[in-house]
Amino acid sequence: MDKLKIAFIGTGWISDWYHKALSRCNTFEIVGAAGNPSPEGREHHRKKCNAWNIKAYTSMEQILQDQEVDAVAILSPTHLHYEQTMAALGAGKHVLVEKPVSLSREEIDILEAESKKTGLLIFPGHNFVYRPVIWRAKSIIKSGKLGVISYASFRSVKLLDKSISEGWRKSRKLAGGGAMMDSGTHLVYQSLFLLGKPQKLSSFIARKHCTQMDCEDICQISVCYPDGLIGQITQSWASADSESSEIRIQGDKGSIVISDSLYLNGKEIEKDASYGDSFYHTICAFAEAIKSSVDPLSTLADAGTTLEIVYKAYESAEKGKVIVL
């Protein structure tokens, strides 16, 4: 089969990771990209496309009109995802769309219906579930090796540069929320993949470091699952620590920890946990899903449930109450 031709919609920093991943993947050819239409954005876009030796499209519409393009990667600000994904489907393109897929559960349902109607794939950019450490962890949980699981935590802590308060992420209207809606989405969809949907939750939020934002830079969610398992999901952009990310799942027969590697009862059993490699595994899975018509590991339905959990966490924090899902 000839290589699939893919173009980027958006050339911000996340596009660098996708470009590196696609350079390793022999099933795709990057043909071009469309970027920010502002004067500063156009210059940045032109330089990046020249460096990558790909076509600098002048607009998303130009990409969608190009009959050679099989698929697009939507790497733009969150509030643009829904309309751009719908437009790409209308133009006959398969779509990989960065997280969050949309800011509305109803819009995600519409996207899912349109995907089924057109036979075109919408692939959520939930890159963390494509890491080998997550696949192995899932198989360990399913095997019963941990016994009765009683506790789980999903935690990511870092100190974000205050320049985030100058861009679109500072606005709740454009971003949908702060730390939990943005990078915390990774934690939530991984928790769904490994443990399923919680039954109820409660949450606290704060704004301690990125004070010019109109949304939170710290969010902690306590969750309870139907079988009584208790967990926490914590995302902070306000802690002066080297970036720290950890998943911990504990049972009465053993435990797993995912950090720089996957550890079972303290013994390293899988090394591939890297952020950069997660994009490579995601791109390979996207190609396989297009060719074989298989579902992504983390689906549009999962994207909808992830969004629901984040919004319910915000509701819990605002009302000071436990929310039943």
Same-domain pairing of 28 and 138? no
Q: What is the dihedral of CA 293, 299, 300, 302, to 10 degrees?
A: 160
Same domain membership, residue 16 and residue 121: yes
Please name every residue paired with 270 in a beta bridge, in sequence order, or none if there are none.
Answer: 262
What does the pLDDT look like over 186-195, one tens digit per residue? 999 999 999 9
The total number of structural domains in the chain stands at 2
| One domain, residues 319 and 175 | yes
Tell me, yes or no, whether 264 and 139 share the same domain.
yes
Structure confidence at residue 156 (pLDDT): 96
Q: Which position has the token pair 């980027």? A: 8
Q: What is the rounded average pLDDT of the residues 17-33?
A: 94
Is the pLDDT reported for residue 254 higher than 60? yes
Residue 173 backbone zone (phi > 0: left; psi -120 to 50: alpha; other: beta): alpha
* Residues 99 and 179 grouped into a single domain: no
Of 85, 107, 126, the one marking the end of a domain is 126
Angle between helix 81-90 and helix 105-118 axes, rounded to 10 deg: 10
Tell me the residue range of the domain where 23 lies: 4-126
Tell me, yes or no, whether 23 and 44 share the same domain: yes
Report the CATH number at residue 45.
3.40.50.720
Q: What is the pLDDT of residue 243?
A: 67
Residue 202, pLDDT score: 98
pLDDT, one tens digit per residue, over 118-160 is 999 999 999 999 999 999 999 999 999 999 999 999 999 998 8
* Contact assessment for residue 323 and residue 224, using Cβ atoms and an 8 Å cutoff: no
Q: Assess whether 108 and 151 both reside in one domain.
A: no
Q: Give yes or no: residues 98 and 181 share one domain.
A: no
Mark which of 126, 153, 181 sits at the end of a domain: 126
Find out whether 290 and 4 touch, Cβ atoms under 8 Å: yes
Clarify whether residues 64 and 168 are in a common domain: no
Task: Flag whether 31 is in a domain.
Answer: yes
Res. 39: pLDDT tops 70: no
What angle separates helix 300-319 from helix 184-195, to the nearest 10 degrees? 120
Tell me: pLDDT of 293 over 70.
yes
The neighbour count for residue 161, using CB atoms within 10 Å, is: 10
Length, in residues, of the chain: 325
Average pLDDT estimate for 226-239: 96
Q: In whole angstroms, what separates CA 104 from the centre of its chain?
A: 15
Q: Is the pLDDT of residue 242 over 90?
A: no
Q: Does residue 166 have a pLDDT over 80?
A: no
Spatial CB neighbours of 288, under 8 Å, sequence gap ≥ 6: 27, 294
Tell me, yes or no, whether 180 and 317 share the same domain.
yes
The single-letter code of the amino acid at 36 is: N
